[in-house]
Structure 1
């Protein structure tokens, strides 16, 4: 695995970490201004909602499995994986994909989609 893939997968893992999710400044740095997320419920939202919502989230634990990174261009990487989200004793499984783009400030997530899985 080359360093671009490893770097972006580490950033993806960081966004699953409660400490990073609780830090609005870190979220702001990792998420592109034109970010779009399509959640497992089918609801779409942008950066402002993510940066405002995630720091207030408590008791949520993620475990990623089978994470892969695919370099689409020198400055674009697709990350795919399965995630287990545990909260208040319940666990939900989703298949996830993210598009990361490198700009002057570094790597940022531009798009993310979660699809409910069994």
Structure 2
């Protein structure tokens, strides 16, 4: 049986795949209605904004390293990792963290933050 930490890390990586990012219904399932993100730009977004622009992204690929998951409480997991995004032949790195909460419908991301890395 897959652990909650393993499930959440798998879902985190799924959200980085171009096919998932293009699927509004799937992204909507994975993000809590109260979802908030603070992007690498420092700007904050909610679920509605993310669902509006994420599916139109094209040509971006992500690789992940040093992913870890830590239980914060029953039904709450913090995921941290390093990501490298390649877009238009240019690579950028970021440190990322997400909080996942377990609901009756399954695990959903409640908060995500990206911070530029050198």
**TM-score, length of structure 2 as denominator length:** 0.97
Q: What SS does structure 1 have at the residue aligned with 2:8?
A: helix
Structure 1 CA distance for aligned equivalents of residues 63 and 77 of structure 2: 21
Q: Deviations over 1:46-74 (max 9, x none)?
A: 00111111110000000010000001112
Structure 1 CA distance for aligned equivalents of residues 41 and 18 of structure 2: 21
Structure 2 CA distance for aligned equivalents of residues 53 and 95 of structure 1: 21
Q: Does 1:26 align with 2:26?
A: yes
Q: What SS does structure 1 have at the residue aligned with 2:36?
A: strand
Aligned residues: CA RMSD: 0.8
Structure 2 CA distance for aligned equivalents of residues 51 and 75 of structure 1: 25
Structure 1 CA distance for aligned equivalents of residues 64 and 21 of structure 2: 15
Structure 1 CA distance for aligned equivalents of residues 107 and 16 of structure 2: 16
Structure 2 CA distance for aligned equivalents of residues 50 and 76 of structure 1: 22
Counterpart in the other structure of 1:106: 106
Q: What number of residue pairs does the alignment pair up?
A: 117
Q: What SS does structure 1 have at the residue aligned with 2:16?
A: coil
Alignment of 1:86-105 (within 5 A): 86-105=86-105
**TM-score, length of structure 1 as denominator length:** 0.97
Structure 1 CA distance for aligned equivalents of residues 52 and 14 of structure 2: 17
Post-superposition shift, 1:37?
0.2
Counterpart in the other structure of 2:47: 47
Counterpart in the other structure of 2:35: 35
Q: Does 1:81 align with 2:81?
A: yes
